[in-house]
Amino acid sequence: MAITVTIRTNSTGNAEPELKTLEPILKVENVWKLYHAGKVEVPALRGVNFEVLPGESVAVMGPSGCGKSSLLYVIGGLAKASRGKVLVDGNDLVAMSDAERTKLRRHKIGFVFQRFNLLPALSAKGNIAIAQYIHGDGFDPHRFEVVTKMLGLDGRLEHRPSEMSGGEQQRVAIARAIINEPKILLADEPTGNLDTKNSEIVLEMLRRLNKDLGQTIVMITHNPEATTYFDRVVHMRDGVIVDGGPAD
Amino acid sequence: MMGQFVFRNLFHRPLRTLIGVVAIAVEVTLVIVVVGLTSGMLQETAKRIEGIGADIMVQAPSAQIFIVMSGSPMPVKIGEKIHDLKYVQYVSPAFLQFNTSGGVETIWGIDPASFRDVSNGFVFHEGHDLQGPDDMLVDDWQARAKHVKLGDTYTLLNHDWKVVGIVEHGKAGRIFVPITTLQELVGGRDKATIFLVRCTRPEHTPDVIGEIKELLPNYPVRPVKEFMTLMTSTNIPALQTFINSMIALAVSIGLLVIFLSMYTTVLERTRDIGVLKSLGASKFMIIRALLAETTLLCLLGIFTGIGLSYVVRAGFLKLFPTLSILITAGWVLRAALIAIVGALIGASYPAWQASRKDAVEALSYD
C-alpha cells in the first residue's frame, strides 16, 4: 500500500485553501531481485514495498545480507529488479532499458558509497566536475562553489584522493553526488569507513542537505546512531521490509 | 573535462604509458625505417643509373628492374647489333655482380672506353681511369665508408684490386672494375648484364627503343629517364612482400601491446568504470574515454617514433655511409595512420568490454 500525504497550501490569487497531494518521489512495489548462483536462484529482495516522499530522509537498517544494498542498487537503477515496480519521480525503472536507466541515473540520482569511490587520477575538483560533465550541462562554477563551500572543501580542491583523509574524500563524494541537484541521494553506508568524528561530520552534512536544501536521502547503515539524523528508519530482514515501510 | 580525465588517466600509471608509447614508437619507426631503407636504396640506385647519362638501358628477358640484384646476363655481341641500329651513337656493356662478403655492394664491370663514351666519363677526385686488368675505381662515398685511399689494395671476390681512382658519386655504381676481369672471376665470359645506349640525339630515344624491341623481342628496353619512376617497390614483387611483412609485423607489435595495455587498464579501473556508470555515463561515453586515451597514447608514440626514426637513420648512416634511407612525409603519415588504426583496433575490445561491465559488480571490485 502506498502512503499518500496530503498537505494544505495557500495558493496565490485564491482565497480558498487548496488541497495538494504530495506524490512519493520513490515508490517500490512488490520488488523482487533474484541472483543466479549457477542454476540456483537466490532471492535478495522478496517483495519489497517502500516509499519515500520528496524531501524525506530515510535510513535503511538491517543485518548483513538482508538485501539493503540490493535495494539501493535497484532503486538507483544500477541493477534491474526481477519483478515488481520501481518508480523514481514517476518513471518505472523495471520497464526501462539499460540506456534509459543510465539516463535517469544521470539526471535524478546521486550516489555516495562506503568506500568513497573517487576517481584516483583526478583531483577533488575533477571528481566533482566530471559529474557535471556527464550530466551534460557542462561546468557550472556557481553551483560548484556553493556545494564545495557548504561541504567545507574550498582549500582541498586541487588535492587528489590519495592526499585526502577519509572524511574529506567522503565529503568530495557527497559533493559529486549532489552537484547536479538529483531528486534522490542514495548513500550506501557512507560512514562505514570513517572514524566517529568524521562520521558525525558526514552525517551532519547529510542532515543539513536534507533540512536546508530539501534533498531527499535514502541511506543504508549498520550504525543505529546514524539513524538519529534521519526522519524515518526502515528495517529490513531476509529481503523484506519488516518495519517502517509503507503504512497499511 | 573528459579531456582532462583522459589526460590524467594516461599519466596516472606512467610506466604503463611509457611501455605503450615505446611500443607504438617501435611500430612507427619500423615502418618508416624499413620503407625508407627500401625506397632509399631504390631511389639511390635509380638516381645513379640516371646519372650515367645514357638514353636507353637494355636488359635480358628475365631480368629484374632492380638491376643490382639481376642475375640474367646476355651475350656481349648483342651490343654490336644494337650499335648498328640507326640513331645509336654509343653502346656500352656492363656486367654487374652483387657481392655480400664484407658488406653489401654491387660491382660494376665496365668497358672503360665505351663507358666513357656513353657517360661522358667520370669526374675524378684523385687518380685515373681503369687501365690494367686489376684496376679498380671507387666513388667518394665508398672510399669514405671503407676508408679506401688511392693506391690501396681492395680485396673483393677473393681477388686483390688496386684502387687507381676515386670518382665523384652518382654515376652507375660505387665500385668499378674492368668487365673482362670480372667476367672471368665469376664465370661470365663474354656476358653482359645490361647495355647502356646513347642515341645520336636524345629525341631519337623512342625511335631507337622501337628498333631495339624489333631486333630483340621480349628484351626489356627502357628509357633511362623513366627509370626513377619505375624503380618502386611495387615493381619488385619480392620487395613489396618484404615491406608488407615488415608492416604487418610492426602493426602486430603495436596492436598486441595496446590490447594488453588497455585490457589491464580496464581491469585496473573496473571500480572507476562502475563509478562512471553510477554517475550516469553511457556505454558510448566509456568507450569514447578509453579510445581517446588510446589515441593520445598513440599520438605520443607516433611523435616519439618519428623522432626515433631520424635517430635510427642517423645511426645507420654513421655505420653504413653508403646506405640511403629516404624518410618521406607520405610514409610518415601512413605510418602514423597505421599506428592509430592498429591501436584503436587493439583498444576496441577492452573498451567494449568496459562499457558492458555490470555496474554493481564493478563497484564491488577489489
Per-residue pLDDT tens over the stretch A96-108? 999 999 999 999 9
* Same domain, residue pair B105 and B29: no
Distance separating alpha carbons of residues B157 and B142, to the nearest angstrom: 17
Q: What is the pLDDT of residue B13?
A: 85
Q: At what angle do helices A166-178 and A124-135 cross, to 10 degrees?
A: 20
- Whether residue B296 lies within 8 A of chain A, CB to CB, comes out as no
Last residue of a domain, one of B161, B190, B219: B219
User: Considering CB atoms only, which of B12, B282, B363 is closest to A117?
Assistant: B363
Contact B363 A102 (CB under 8 A): no
Q: What is the pLDDT of residue A8?
A: 45
In whole angstroms, give the CA distance from residue A34 to residue A43. Answer: 4
Burial track A195-218 (b if 16+ CB lie within 10 A, e otherwise):
eeebbbbbbebbbebbeeeebbbb
B199 and B67 both lie in a single domain:
yes
The answer to whether B24 and B260 have CB atoms below 8 angstroms apart is no
| Residue B183, SS3 per DSSP | helix
Is residue B298 a part of any domain in this protein? Answer: yes
Q: Does A109 touch chain B (CB under 8 A)?
A: yes
pLDDT at position A247 is 44
- Asked whether residue B226 is assigned to any structural domain, the reply reads no
pLDDT in tens, B269-287: 899 999 999 999 999 999 9
3-state secondary structure of A48: strand
- The pLDDT of A136-154, averaged and rounded, is 87
CB pairs under 8 A between A and B: 73
> In sequence order, which residues have a C-beta less than 8 Å from that of residue B311 and are 6 or more positions away?
none
Quick check: A65 contacting B, CB < 8 Å? no
Q: Cβ of A141 under 8 Å from any chain B Cβ?
A: no
Chosen from A68, A122, A172 to mutate, greatest number of chain B CBs within 10 A: A122
Q: So what's the pLDDT on residue B319?
A: 84
Same domain, B280 and B210: no
Taking the Cβ of residue A143 and every Cβ of chain B, the question of whether any pair is shorter than 8 Å is answered with no
Which segments within chain B are labelled E, that is strand? 56-59, 74-75, 88-99, 105-110, 124-127, 135-139, 153-156, 159-167, 175-178, 191-192, 194-199, 221-223
Helix runs in B162-282, H state only:
179-186, 205-215, 227-230, 237-268, 270-278
Per DSSP, B103 falls in state S
Q: Are residues B101 and B213 part of one domain?
A: yes
Q: Are residues B357 and B246 in the same domain?
A: yes
Do residues B123 and B268 share a domain? no
Q: Under a CB-based contact definition with an 8 Å cutoff, are residues B165 and B129 in contact?
A: yes
Q: β-strand B175-178 against A216-221: which pairing, if any?
A: unpaired
User: Is position B229 within any domain?
Assistant: no
Asked if residue B224 is part of any domain, the answer here is no
**Which residues in chain B show pLDDT less than 70?**
64-72, 101-103, 228, 231-237
**B359 vs chain A: nearest CA distance in angstroms?**
6
Which fold would CATH assign to domain A24-243?
A: Rossmann fold (3.40.50)
Kindly determine whether residue B279 and residue A102, on different chains, have CB atoms separated by under 8 Å.
no
How far is residue A69's CA from residue B268's CA, in Å, rounded to a whole number? 24
CA A100 to chain centre: 19
* Residues of chain B contacting residue A76, judged by C-beta atoms under 8 Å apart: 278
More confident residue, A226 or B237: A226
Q: Which three cell numbers stand for residue B342?
A: 592498429
Supply the pLDDT for residue B131. Answer: 94
Query: Which of B111, B109, B106 shows the shortest CA–CA distance to B66?
Result: B106
Residues of chain A in contact with residue B287, where contact means CB-CB under 8 angstroms, are none
Q: Are residues B138 and B261 in the same domain?
A: no
In this predicted model, what pLDDT tens digit does every residue of A228-245 receive, in sequence order?
999 999 999 999 998 875
> What range defines the domain where residue B153 resides?
61-219
C-alpha B195/C-alpha B208 separation (Å) is 13
Residue in this structure with the C-alpha cell 656492363, named with its chain if needed:
B94
Residue ending a domain, choose from B170, B190, B219 = B219
- For A32, other C-beta atoms within 10 Å of its C-beta total 17
Cβ within 8 Å, pair A121-B277: no
Whether A130 and B5 lie within 8 Å, measured CB to CB: yes
Do B274 and B141 share a structural domain?
A: no
Q: Which three cell numbers stand for residue A125?
A: 575538483
Whether residues B360 and A78 touch (CB distance < 8 A) is answered with yes
A232: distance to nearest CA of chain B, Å? 25
Q: What is the pLDDT of residues B206-223, one digit of tens each?
A: 999 999 999 999 898 989
Tell me: do B69 and B191 sit in the same domain.
yes
Residue B219: enclosing H or E segment and its boundaries?
none
The answer to whether residue B257 is domain-embedded is yes
Contact A110, A76 (CB under 8 A): no
Q: Report the number of distinct structural domains present in chain B.
A: 2
Residue B147 inside a domain? The answer is yes
